[in-house]
Chains A and B, each alone.
Chain A
Amino acid sequence: MAKRIIVIPAYNEELTIADVVRGAVKIADRVLVVDDGSRDRTAALAKEAGALVVRHAVNRGVGAALGTGIEAAVRLDADAVVTMDADGQHRAEDAARVFERLAQGDVEFVIGSRMKRGPEQGNMPAHRMLFNTIGNMLTFMLFGVWVTDSQSGLRGLSRKAASTIDLRTNGMESLSEFIKEKKDRRWRLAEVPIKAIYTDYSMSKGQNFFMGVKIALRLIFRRFFG
């Protein structure tokens, strides 16, 4: 059986992390939580819920945490790696669908898209939809790849992709950096429709307009000078 590992980057997520881990352990062989320098009980709760915890001594950002998690998964001999958000917006069954898509073996990279038409899609708030569309356009202009949800945190990498990916940015902009890697390394990409669960909690943790501008500037810098 192929070894399936879920990677969850988490920073101060003690309210949601245990539920997310409990859902994830049901559909994966191992769940890795990267505690990105949290000051709350994130690490302890994740461990209790059945995750293996990898701990950053200081907060380095979601991109850095993803990089650490993916490398850890490769060292643990993962055949497929799926990343999930720690705030509870992703459902375990959608992660399972990403694993299944990877298991078909014809793609190296899968994005769980909140914008792709599927039986259950269509619950994204309007302003989110707008930011996401801008993010997609910017990603396309910078890296020449069109995807329907460039900012989704639910993604899958084959073993080959996971062992070659090279993320250089530390923050949210790394989500688009995956797409640069897809292009440079000629990974084949598939998008799987997913349903995101929007709660007041996950909305408050999400990206706002000024973060979006900052992310865009960093991406441009990475494209031309990085």
Chain B
Amino acid sequence: MHAIQIVLLCFAIFAMSRALIRYRRGLTRMLHLEMWLLFWVCVVVVALRPEVTDLLARWLGVGRGVDTAIYLALLMIFFLLFRSFGKIEDLDRQLTKVVRANALREMEEDLAAAKDKDRPGEK
């Protein structure tokens, strides 16, 4: 076995255990757990039997199996980056909503308190 295979194998096992722990703690959904496990199982298969990527490469029309794996990995990284960017924007917007609602409520409370102070006899 080559060193790179051992490294990939260890990393995949580590990543799968993290995914399982996150699921057990209720931090992730079943669907996401399954997707990640499937992904890392594919990594293990490719690490142990690199020749399977050649089949895929031939089918896709890319020269070498290793190149195919790198292209697909890049695609996946870009997809994840794009998605996280969108998620952060969403969170940003939601945080502003909360901060704004809070600010406006405080303003209205302050105004109501000031009014009561002006007309103490009416209360």
Chain A interfacial positions (CB closer than 8 Å to B): 34, 52, 54-58, 60, 64, 67-68, 71-72, 75, 168, 170, 221, 225-226
Contact = CB atoms under 8 A, between A and B. Distances in A.
Main SS of chain A's interface residues? mixed
Contacts, number: 45
B87 to A, nearest CB: 12
A56 B103 contact: yes
B106 A54 contact: yes
Interface in B93-123: 93, 95-96, 99-100, 102-104, 106-108, 110-111
Contacts of A55: 103, 106
Contacts of A75: 104, 108
B117 to A, nearest CB: 15
Contacts of B100: 56, 60, 64, 67-68, 71
Contact of B86 (A52, A54, A56, A225): A225
Nearest to B108: A75
A58 B100 CA distance: 10
Contacts of B110: 52
Interface residues of B, number: 16
A58 B95 CA distance: 9
A26 to B, nearest CB: 22
A60 B96 contact: yes
Given A68-B100, A71-B100, A225-B86, A60 B95 contact: yes
B103 A57 contact: yes
A64 B107 contact: no
Given A55-B103, A56-B103, A72-B104, 10 more contacts: A34-B103, A54-B103, A54-B104, A54-B107, A58-B95, A67-B96, A68-B99, A68-B100, A72-B103, A72-B107
B76 to A, nearest CB: 20
A213 B52 CA distance: 45
Nearest to A167: B96
Nearest to A71: B104
A54 B92 CA distance: 20
B93 to A, nearest CB: 6
A55 B109 CA distance: 13
A30 to B, nearest CB: 11
B96 A170 contact: yes
Contacts of B96: 60, 64, 67, 170
Most buried by A among B86, B89, B93, B99: B99
A60 B107 contact: no
A58 B107 contact: no
Given A75-B108, A225-B86, A68 B103 contact: yes
A73 to B, nearest CB: 11
A108 B102 CA distance: 28
A68 B96 CA distance: 9
A72 B92 CA distance: 20
A75 B108 CA distance: 9
A54 B102 CA distance: 10
Contacts of A225: 86
